[in-house]
Amino acid sequence: MRDRDMIIRRFFYSACILGFLILTVTSCNSVDDSVVQVFDLEKLAARNENSSLIASSKKFEGSILKIKPKKDNTGVVIWEQGDEQDWSKGKYLVFGLYGNNEYSGVINIEFFKETGEHKSEEIILQSGVLSGRGEAAPWISSLMGILPNLKTQVVFPLSYLDAQQIFLPRFPRQLKGTVNGDRLDPADIVKVVLRFGPYDEPYLTPEFELASLTINNELPEPYPRLEEPVIDEFGQWKLRTWKGKIKDSSELAQRNAELEEMARTASLPENWSKYGGWQEKQFEETGFFRTQHDGQRWWLVDPEGFGFLSVGVDVMRYGSSGPINDSEDLFEWLPNPEDGRFKASIDVSDGQDMDFYKANMIRAFGEDSKEKWSSITQGLMKKYRFNTVGNWSDLEFAQENQFPYVLPMEDFPSTEVLLYRDFPDVFSEEYEQNSEKFAQQLENFKDDSYMIGYFLRNEPQWAFGYHNLAFEMFGTDQQSETKSEFIKWISNNYDGDIDAFNENWQLELQEFKDLFSKTFKEFPSEDADIDFYEFSKIMVTRYIDVPCDEVEKVDDNHLNLGMRYAWISSDLLYKAGERFDVFSINGYGVNPPETSEIAEISGKPIMIGEFHHGAIDRALPATGITGVLTQQDRANAYRTYVEEGFSRPELIGMHYFQWIDQPVYGRSDGENYNIGVVNMNNLPYRELTEAMTITNEQIYEIGTGQVEPFDGEVIKITPIHY
């Protein structure tokens, strides 16, 4: 989700000037110097059959494109070679958008390139906004979301065409944005397409209004404030109702008091150990978690020697906040930062964050709200038969309540010079020094028997898609120790014979050191592609060996759980995985991803660090990465996923993402998905939690073949995520 790193920081532009200038194709009432190019909407309507031009609407003045996505999702071509606009002149693509729907809108901005083989593996987002049938994949694209029934100004910074960042900054009213693909020079663009979703007839048939499509040199002014707020005092979306929606503070307090009473008496099954291991499966006791294959399947082994399968939840912590800067008009109530009662629910340390979950807990329990949260949550974990506190959780909560947990290590070693996206200069002394510092954080955990192991990091951005790292390093003339190492290596590889090298690479260099000043948009030859990739393997080996050497010096008691890859994009990920004790991957779908091949290639047991299922029938307008129709489908999907997973001999752990729903206005990066075990009022999704209890209680019987996995109906829909 692809959530990810949880350290993504918002950076809103700050300015809130009323009276935003509405740009139209045919006329401008005043001059906006930041606009350098304007798109002709009448021309776009004539070019695209799935759009029509209207004079105005309740939301926009002037010419507007009305767009109704269709089954083939052909998209709206906004630019082709020969059109007037020049993508090298301007910094931002900007357009007004309104989704006339009860669910979030999903937009993909696709940039196409004519020449060269596109080698990046496409992320299968299944969001209903990717290329239509039979079309070539875009060279680079940006996926982003907007809230329903809310006029939004969408901003895409054209600097992100360099493909060095995955996550876009947030702008007012705009939700999460991601970028996937390869570096693209604006001069090489041949076509630009906007695709809109989600489309999944009969469940999702959206309509959009698009206005004022421009290229700007400066960030545009925000839209005027709303006359009527769209988020109520409990952080709930005001424009629709649903089963269980909180109406007043007394109802909130009463329902939480009932939950507290229910959680008070919960306990784990009698045949589980104090760690949550299975007392019917005994191995050697070592005092720490480890792995073992018993001839039939892989196991985690708990500190007492009992077989252990890890079933957990990520992001188990007190709070679910999001930024509100320049969006304060969306809310009918926000606490005064100086108000002592609600002070804990608002954070002004970096911009301004609002946490309605905390505010609602304060309404329900007063000044003891955090202690009540801990007591209730540990009881619910036991009631729902979870034995692990997953990634990005409150470690004090795990330790105080004596739950096994996983540790997400912070600040994976980096360097000032980055070679491609977040891939550091791995042959530099700086990388060695930072790796040593990185390892020191394990000092405080090395003797804790409740810690299963540590994740080195989450979803490295260099691994999003197939990327030949050494080749990408030569996308610019930036110097680095790793580039120097490559030139030494390639010279040795060709025995110092520059003529042989030139022949294979189809170059005309005088000597190998001339490579220092070379840059490449394309592979000069097939041999160059092969040579670059061979050195990419060396780079990845160095990338993983240096920090792993250091963490093993500090802590040899706990398991190295890997990097929680988003998916297997190339065999470079297996190369990095050679040092892991457990190969971890984040896997989204109604069923777990293919793991037998991963286990066979890596020789490791597998842990799934994230999965979820979301619906839009309650509380939130987006499903997350896997979409299903209703809360009952969420329940059936959970049972399907976890029971099928633990029936596989290679899977030793699965962690659901996440404990609390995300805020409707978006967390720091803009995700606003219905993926919680509990909602923003701390109330569990009953259908889901009943299913979790049934499945989790029998994971050991499923894992040993005594119980057949659940096989129930799940109505899957096109996911709404960004």
Is 144:169 a contact under the CB 8 Å cutoff?
Answer: no
What secondary structure letter does DSSP report for 231?
A: B
- Please state, in angstroms and rounded to a whole number, the distance separating the CA atoms of residues 403 and 449: 10
Q: Which two tokens stand for residue 441?
A: 């954080």
Listed in sequence order, the DSSP H helices in 384-421 are 395-400
Domain span(s) for CATH 2.60.120 in the chain? 35-216
Q: Of 612, 585, 586, 595, whose CA–CA distance to 719 is shortest? A: 612
* Mean of pLDDT over the chain: 92
Q: Of 16, 611, 651, whose CA–CA distance to 330 is shortest? A: 16
pLDDT, average across residues 18-36: 47
Q: How far is CA 106 from CA 176, 392, 441, in A?
A: 10, 27, 39
Is 353:347 a contact under the CB 8 Å cutoff?
Answer: yes
Lowest-pLDDT range of 97-101, 134-138, 398-402: 134-138
The pLDDT-based confidence of 119 (bands split at 50, 70, 90) is very low
| 3-state SS, residue 268 | coil
Q: How far is CA 309 from CA 549, 595, 598, in A?
A: 28, 16, 18
Q: Of 165, 127, 70, 663, whose CA–CA distance to 420 is shortest? A: 165
Measured between its terminal Cα atoms, the distance across the chain in Å is 8
The pLDDT-based confidence of 28 (bands split at 50, 70, 90) is very low
What secondary structure letter does DSSP report for 616?
A: S
Lowest-pLDDT range of 67-71, 144-148, 597-601: 67-71
Specify the pLDDT at position 23: 33
Specify the pLDDT at position 10: 35
Specify the pLDDT at position 50: 85
Annotate 623-676 with DSSP letters as a single string.
--SSEESSHHHHHHHHHHHHHHHHTSTTEEEEEES-SBPPPTT--TT----S--
Question: Burial letters for 36-68: b for 16+ Cβ neighbours within 10 Å, e otherwise?
Answer: bbbbbbeebbeebebbeeeeeeebbebbbbbbe
Bond before 169 cis per omega within 30 degrees: no
Q: Of 569, 586, 575, whose CA–CA distance to 467 is shortest? A: 569
For residue 255, is pLDDT > 60? yes
Specify the pLDDT at position 135: 60
pLDDT tens for each residue of 218-233: 999 999 999 999 999 9
What is the architecture of the domain spanning 35-216? Sandwich (2.60)
pLDDT, average across residues 582-610: 97
Q: Is the pTM of this model over 0.85?
A: yes
Specify the pLDDT at position 349: 80
Q: How do strand 451-455 and strand 405-408 relate by DSSP bridges?
A: parallel
- Please state, in angstroms and rounded to a whole number, the distance separating the CA atoms of residues 34 and 111: 23
pLDDT, average across residues 23-45: 69
Max Cα–Cα distance, the chain, nearest Å: 82
Give the type of residue at 140. I
pLDDT, average across residues 182-187: 95
Specify the pLDDT at position 2: 40
The pLDDT-based confidence of 274 (bands split at 50, 70, 90) is very high
CA 365-366-367 angle, 5° bins: 120
Specify the pLDDT at position 32: 64
The pLDDT-based confidence of 542 (bands split at 50, 70, 90) is very high
Backbone CA torsion sign across 495, 496, 500, 502: positive
Lowest-pLDDT range of 13-17, 48-52, 456-460, 552-556: 13-17
pLDDT, average across residues 188-208: 96
Listed in sequence order, the DSSP H helices in 366-475 are 369-383, 395-400, 429-439, 469-473
